[in-house]
Amino acid sequence: MDKPVNQGAWLLVLPVVLIVAFSAIVPLMTVVNYSVQDTFGNNQFFWNGIGWYQELLDPTTELGGRFFDALWRNLLFSALILSIEVPLGIAVALSMPREGWRVAATLVILALPLLIPWNVVGTIWQIFAREDIGLLGWVVNRLGIPYNYTADPLSAWVTIVVMDVWHWTSLVALLCYAGLRSIPDAFYQAARIDGASRWAIFRNIQLPKMHRVLLIAVLLRFMDSFMIYTEPFVVTGGGPGNSTTFVSIDLVKLALGQFDLGKAAALSIVYNLVILAVCWVFYTVMTRMDAGRS
Amino acid sequence: MARIELQNLAHSYVANPAGGKDYALKPMTHVWEQGGAYALLGPSGCGKTTLLNIISGLLTPSDGRVLFDGKDVTNLPTEARNIAQVFQFPVVYDTMTVYENLAFPLRNRGLRGAAVDARVREIADLLDLTPDLKRRGRGLTADAKQKISLGRGLVRPDVAAILFDEPLTVIDPHLKWELRSKLKALHRALDLTMIYVTHDQTEALTFADKVVVMHDGGVVQIGRPDELFAKPAHVFVGHFIGSPGMNVLPAEVSGRHARIGAHVIALARGYPHLNGEAKIEIGVRPEFATLAPAGAGVPVRVKRVDDLGRLRIAKVELSGLPMAATVPETLHVSGDEASLLFDPSMIHVYANGSLVEGEAA
């Protein structure tokens, strides 16, 4: 008699299951395991239940205070760079040439910052913005504007925001450019015949066509900026004080500096859930907006 | 009102055109009357879209002038001309409703309120779009979108001419006919000049009062559909219009006779002034060459008979030259020996491809 179901098919899924298990599930479970225990070294672990989570989510405790401060800094940073990079990226994409050799030249120039490794970007700006030998820092100070990212929190913030804008606006611009290129000429010709103003063309033709790529750009930039570590670590090391200590930097301090594995593991899990939750909200809101238009 | 005049108009996409080959549009002078329905017919790459874009102002011609009602508009931008254009692919503003789409050209020109509303509703009614007014542009069918594109042109009270650039390409076949009839009805109802670009002869012949046949950057004939059929001004027109196209055979023409190989065909008109250097051909449509039993006319060899349903077409050889002829319903073709009977008044003589007017005796 024929078997309607062939259980042997499970074997075909096995390699993927193994890879995912070893690359994601096992490490994640290890972290979960740490987050419910305490250790004083010697590989001795003690059960702590949800203790670390309670401490972490209570802003009145030392750990909770650190976490929420860093979290607000992260959110502020993401909000700042999104509000700069998205409009700027759109503006750059709109002013890019549509044909000729200049297209290739512009694309290469725009792609350059994206190809530089994070820590190199950090190092470049760390030197570039120094008040004594950095071109930017020196010029700004000579113009009479006090600027010192190692001593002044505002300077430090300006530096990392500008650095991120320099590094990542290209990504938004390139994505938007791809969206713009998908618009047939007939749309522009029809708009001219309809007597549409520049703004009306942007509002009714270009923006709707860029809508999908903008969703991707916002999601990518949000996730990336929310997890930012390398550049501020290289430039400011989280300082001055704790003014540029983001969650990821704090996490490393906690896990590798203080060797508080339990606290760090709980922080990792919560950090991960926050990113997932915010991305889900972004995605849902933006796809709802999309659906609402049709 | 728009009477469109083209004066010595030519266009080249090359900066410094050297010769005729560089011109996408060869010099032409024509007058298109107000209220006419014109079709620009020709194969891809013959310059018909270039000509259309010059008239609409999307392209500035490299030579010559365009006049609307005697006023030079050659350098006017498209938004300053009283024309509208419908493109091959429907252009609809996705994020707007159908109503907003139709109101868009009016609002861009500073109109507001009741004036816009009345005009939009009138045009929507004309195009049977009233039930869809509140819907978004996205998700509409291609023919509805194309109607909206057309509506955005019609809605403007200043528009005197509407240009169509192969507007039915993406429309389902069964809706094409409907939409074409709609266009025809609109043309009758509104006093508008319509110019319709197409490579489909059926579309051109059913839509237009006057068909402008284009070939290789030039206009080869402008005429009513029946004129194009009965008296093609160029062998290209004979080939391109009609299915199957006109037979064109190299011949020696002297007086009122054409000689093909050993056979002599009588002509209705005399041709005493033919240029001796030119390539002389005669053209006759299959409809005017009738197959007959051997011995009745010019002897031919029958290769094949195709039944097209409405009529039968025989592929024959006359002195080794292939041509097509009509098979009368009563004729039973047996064997490959037969002959052809011609209608002499429908045989045309061409010198270097262009029609030569004969002299009636």
Give this complex's ipTM: 0.73
Test A204 with B96 for CB contact under 8 angstroms: yes
- Is A143 a domain residue? yes
User: Which residues of B fall within a CB distance of 8 Å from A186?
Assistant: 87-89, 91
Rounded distance between C-alpha atoms, residue B194 and residue B183, angstroms: 9
Test A195 with B152 for CB contact under 8 angstroms: no
Other beta carbons within 10 angstroms of residue B291's beta carbon come to 24
- Is B326 a domain residue? yes
Q: Domain range spanning residue A287?
A: 67-293
Test B108 with A194 for CB contact under 8 angstroms: yes
Does B278 share its domain with B222? Answer: no
Residue A240, classed as helix, strand or coil, is coil
State the CATH number of the domain containing residue A109.
1.10.3720.10
Does B179 share its domain with B84? Answer: yes
Last residue of a domain, one of B205, B222, B239: B239
Write phi, then psi, for A181 (nearest 5 degrees): -65, -20
B114-129 average pLDDT score: 85
Rg (CA), chain A: 24
- Is B251 a domain residue? yes
Last residue of a domain, one of B213, B239, B265: B239
User: Which residues of A fall within a CB distance of 8 Å from B105?
Assistant: 193-195
How many domains does chain A divide into?
Answer: 1
Q: What pLDDT tens digit does each residue of chain A (294 aa) get?
A: 566 777 888 888 999 999 998 888 888 888 888 888 887 766 777 777 787 787 778 778 887 888 888 888 888 999 999 999 999 999 999 998 888 889 899 999 999 999 988 888 888 888 888 888 888 888 888 888 888 888 888 888 888 899 999 999 999 999 999 989 888 888 888 888 888 888 888 988 888 888 888 888 888 888 888 888 888 888 887 778 788 888 888 888 887 877 778 888 888 888 888 888 888 888 888 778 767 654
State the CATH number of the domain containing residue B36.
3.40.50.300
Write phi, then psi, for A109 (nearest 5 degrees): -60, -40
- Is A216 a domain residue? yes
B22-43 average pLDDT score: 85
Cβ neighbours of residue B321 under 8 Å, at least 6 residues apart? B249, B250, B260, B261
**Closest residue by Cα to residue A193 from B147, B80, B145, B34:** B80
- Is A8 a domain residue? no
How many domains does chain B divide into?
Answer: 2
Does B292 share its domain with B223? Answer: no
- Is B351 a domain residue? yes
Cβ neighbours of residue B123 under 8 Å, at least 6 residues apart? B102, B129, B151, B154, B155
A193 touches chain B (CB under 8 A): yes
B189: confidence class by pLDDT, cuts 50, 70, 90? confident
* pLDDT tens digits along B129-168: 888 888 887 778 888 888 888 888 888 888 888 888 888 8
- Is B207 a domain residue? yes
Q: Which of A192, A193, A202, A209 would you mutate first to test chain B, the one with the most B CBs within 10 A?
A: A193
Does B188 share its domain with B300? Answer: no
Checking if the pLDDT of B35 tops 70, the result is yes
Those of residues 32-61 in B touching chain A at CB distance below 8 A are 56, 58
pLDDT at A172: 93
User: Which residues of A fall within a CB distance of 8 Å from B138?
Assistant: 293-294
A49 vs B38, residue with greater confidence: B38
Does B171 share its domain with B126? Answer: yes
Residue with tokens 């999601």: A219
Q: B148 — alpha (psi -120 to 50), left (phi > 0) or beta?
A: alpha
Question: How many A×B Cβ pairs under 8 Å?
Answer: 57
> For residue B20, what are the β-bridge partners?
none
Residue B32, classed as helix, strand or coil, is strand
Last residue of a domain, one of B239, B266, B284: B239
pLDDT at B186: 83
Test A184 with B89 for CB contact under 8 angstroms: yes
Test B91 with A200 for CB contact under 8 angstroms: no
Q: Domain range spanning residue B164?
A: 4-239
Does B201 share its domain with B119? Answer: yes
B77 touches chain A (CB under 8 A): yes
A202 touches chain B (CB under 8 A): no
Residue B349, classed as helix, strand or coil, is strand
Does B61 share its domain with B194? Answer: yes
Test B95 with A204 for CB contact under 8 angstroms: yes
Residue with tokens 């110019």: B195
Structure tokens at A108: 């290469």
Does B157 share its domain with B68? Answer: yes
Checking if the pLDDT of B20 tops 70, the result is no
- Is B361 a domain residue? no
